[in-house]
Amino acid sequence: MNDPKTPQYSPLRTHLGRTVLITGAGQGIGAALAAGFLARGAAVGLLDIAPAHLSLRAAELNKAGARLAAAVADVADHAAVTQAVGRLSETLGATFDVVVCNAGISPKHEGRGVTMQDMDPAEWTRVVDVNLNGTFNVVHATVPQMIATGYGRIITIASVAGRTYFRHVGAHYAASKAAVIGFTKHLAGELGPHGITVNALAPGRIVTPLIHSVSQEVNDQVAAATPLGRLGEPEEVAEVALFLTSDAARFVTGQVIDVAGGWLMT
């Protein structure tokens, strides 16, 4: 009997024939996204800054004989992203019609987010470069072909920290994720006439390597404050992205969907 807390992927081939780009694909939510899209028949391009994580994930997923390609790039580097997208597209033999901008960082110092007044300006710049500018760079590299084909699905990964105060992150992370939400809504209006939908997911505390940047006590506190009484699983975020990029959600755009177990209700 399956553990009810462990989501199981449906065998439905809802993304058959689609080509998907996932950033931050080496672990956590990105890895769950890759597995989910592959299970639903898509060809998937993996992009990550960490070669070791990327190689391990690609090797695991390739065991199923999937249509898969991987490339190393820093999403904050526009030229590197453009080149990586080109290489992945060439390897997969198709342009990307689904993009999930998942790569992001949230620096901690001794298990805590640094206060704004103590923040190194270089750290602020790096977080904004990855979380916000990285999202722009990936979309900027892939949207032209979506416009050309008249079809596209874009998912950005925001955070509940971009919607309200969350004391366990820094101001740079909160500001960058709030900006991602604004970017998403604007883009939905701009790209809607071209047949492209753009939606954001705002996860709460999800069980990924990032949760180990703070103490277990903090994670327990967040779980206790969540109406469902636990942290989320990467697959639970992936499932929502899979729905929003399927034909079932073709009339849904410009939305911010919390995947946070009810932690934030507005």
Q: Is residue 164 part of a domain?
A: yes
Q: Is residue 7 part of a domain?
A: no
Residue 4: predicted pLDDT:
46
For residue 199, is pLDDT > 70? yes
Place 1 in a pLDDT band, splitting at 50, 70 and 90: very low
Structural contact between residues 166 and 174, judged by C-beta atoms closer than 8 angstroms: yes
Two tokens, residue 140: 């900027």
Domain with residue 179: its CATH number is 3.40.50.720
Question: Which pTM does this prediction carry?
Answer: 0.92
H or E element, residue 100: strand 98-101
Q: Is residue 9 part of a domain?
A: no
Q: What is the DSSP-derived secondary structure letter of residue 232?
A: B
pLDDT digits (tens, 9 = 90+) for 142-195: 999 999 999 999 999 999 999 999 888 999 999 999 999 999 999 999 999 999
3-state secondary structure at position 98: strand
Q: Is residue 64 part of a domain?
A: yes
- φ/ψ of residue 253, rounded to 5: -155, 155
Q: Is residue 184 part of a domain?
A: yes
Q: For residue 155, which of 192, 200, 191 has the smallest C-alpha distance?
A: 200
How far apart, in whole angstroms, are the C-alpha atoms of residue 196 and residue 219?
A: 37
| Known catalytic residue at 9 | no
Tokens 């006590």 sit at which residue? 217
pLDDT digits (tens, 9 = 90+) for 77-127: 999 999 999 999 999 999 999 999 999 999 887 666 778 999 999 999 999
**Domain of 101?**
19-257
Q: Is residue 172 part of a domain?
A: yes
Q: Is residue 12 part of a domain?
A: no
Q: Domain count of the chain?
A: 1
Residue 112: predicted pLDDT:
67
The single residue of 9, 151, 165, 173 carrying the catalytic annotation is: 173
How far apart, in whole angstroms, are the C-alpha atoms of residue 140 and residue 82?
A: 8
Q: Is residue 110 part of a domain?
A: yes
pLDDT digits (tens, 9 = 90+) for 207-247: 988 777 777 888 888 889 899 999 999 999 999 999 999 99
